Amino acid sequence: MLFEGRFTEGKNAFDNRITQLFGISYPVIQAGMIWASGWRLASAVSNAGGLGLIGAGSMYPQVLREHIQKCKKATDRPFGVNLPLLYPDIGQHVAVILEEKVPVVFTSAGNPKSWTSKFKEHGIKVVHVVSSARFAKKSQDAGVDAVVAEGFEAGGHNGREETTTLCLIPAVRDAVTIPLIAAGGIATGRAMMAMMALGAEGVQIGSRFVCSHEASSHIAFKEAVINATEGDTIVTMKQLTPVRLIKNEFYKQVQEAESKCVSTEELQNLLGRARAKQGMFEGDLNEGELEIGQVSGMIKEIKPAGEIVKEIWMSLLSLRKCHLRTKYQPYRFVPFTLFS
């Protein structure tokens, strides 16, 4: 259900390739996030006119199926699944997605070639997450419908290139012709407007939605995000897979181990199998892994997810004149008032 009144007023302001690709009202995508984005969050965002994504990365195939089925009951609007491609039982996840006829899949952490054609054979829209212009090009060649370009500010696993969103978005825009979604450090209408000016046609937002009522993350983790200030996050474990998290006791242990130049195996043992769950889902703020983006320093409130979509959208509309990317005319200067 869309918001009434003023919120619906500007719903066609950015009717572009992203809104058309997914059949949504606003090009605002809630990122798929382990231990945070289940059916409640995904359906709330989709009901508000954005695109909600279920994060399959922390779900066994049967759990994923339950979330998809509950999401279908909670919304009649499009939603998707985020699927990190590196999991050993990925084939089972794929089978669930196909059987449940999920309309959109965002793949990440792997080769876009591996599953894109399979999904597309079934009429599923495929988007791949990249952290460089080179991989954006590879994804386009693999036949994806769009790319998410995620900068170094982002919460969770990061690209090794360490390219910030500000540098990444224009580089990817120049490298590919398919629709482009910006991610990393976006939590406000101002930031979204900046991304559109850089050539993005939509935004994927993670950290802001962690602090929503519907996110499945533990309340202690949500409060830690609210209390985080500038400089409280860092990208660590570069020897394994770089990840941005809140500096805590666990991080200090990683730092100490790295200063002793421990082997990758020892680091893997320190990380263990359930650190992320322990921190983000069970709320162990000392020993758990607390993945979140730099923008956490700006997040001050836990709100309903639909309110977050509305806030970002209304703020965007209040920026009356801007550079924005339209469907076929990138970088055309358009007075925003014409659309709102």
Ligand X SMILES: Cc1cc2nc3c(=O)[nH]c(=O)nc-3n(C[C@H](O)[C@H](O)[C@H](O)COP(=O)(O)O)c2cc1C
Binding site for ligand X (CB under 6 A): 31-34, 36, 55, 57, 82, 84, 108, 129, 150, 153-156, 183-186, 204-207, 210, 280, 291-293, 295
Residue with structure tokens 């999904």?
Answer: 119
Q: How far is the CB of 120 from ligand X (least distance, A)?
A: 19
CA dist., res. 222 & res. 207, Å (int): 10
Nearer to ligand X, 36 or 41 (CB): 36
Q: How far is the CB of 177 from ligand X (least distance, A)?
A: 22
Q: How far is the CB of 39 from ligand X (least distance, A)?
A: 15
Query: What length does the chain have?
Result: 340
Are the CB atoms for 106 and 116 separated by under 8 Å?
A: no
Q: How far is the CB of 217 from ligand X (least distance, A)?
A: 7
Nearer to ligand X, 81 or 175 (CB): 81
CA dist., res. 181 & res. 173, Å (int): 10
Q: How far is the CB of 192 from ligand X (least distance, A)?
A: 11
Radius of gyration of the chain (CA): 19
Closest CA to 179 of 223, 126, 221, 215: 126
Beta bridge partners of 182: 149, 203
Tell me the backbone φ, ψ of residue 205, rounded to 5 degrees: -120, 125
Q: How far is the CB of 196 from ligand X (least distance, A)?
A: 16
Nearer to ligand X, 8 or 227 (CB): 227
Q: How far is the CB of 236 from ligand X (least distance, A)?
A: 14
Closest CA to 196 of 46, 42, 315, 32: 315
Closest CA to 154 of 110, 206, 195, 84: 206
Q: Is 185 left (phi over 0), alpha (psi -120 to 50) or beta?
A: left
CA dist., res. 158 & res. 151, Å (int): 8
Nearer to ligand X, 52 or 84 (CB): 84
- Cβ neighbors of 309 (< 8 A, separation 6 or more) are 26, 28, 45, 48, 49, 50
* DSSP assigned state of 280: I
Nearer to ligand X, 199 or 336 (CB): 199
Q: How far is the CB of 184 from ligand X (least distance, A)?
A: 4
- Kind of pairing, strands 125-130 and 156-157? unpaired
Nearer to ligand X, 80 or 306 (CB): 80
CA dist., res. 221 & res. 56, Å (int): 20
Nearer to ligand X, 74 or 191 (CB): 191
Q: How far is the CB of 108 from ligand X (least distance, A)?
A: 3
What is the chain's percent helix, strand, coil content, to nearest 5?
A: 45, 15, 40
Q: Which residue is nearest to ligand X (CB)?
A: 206
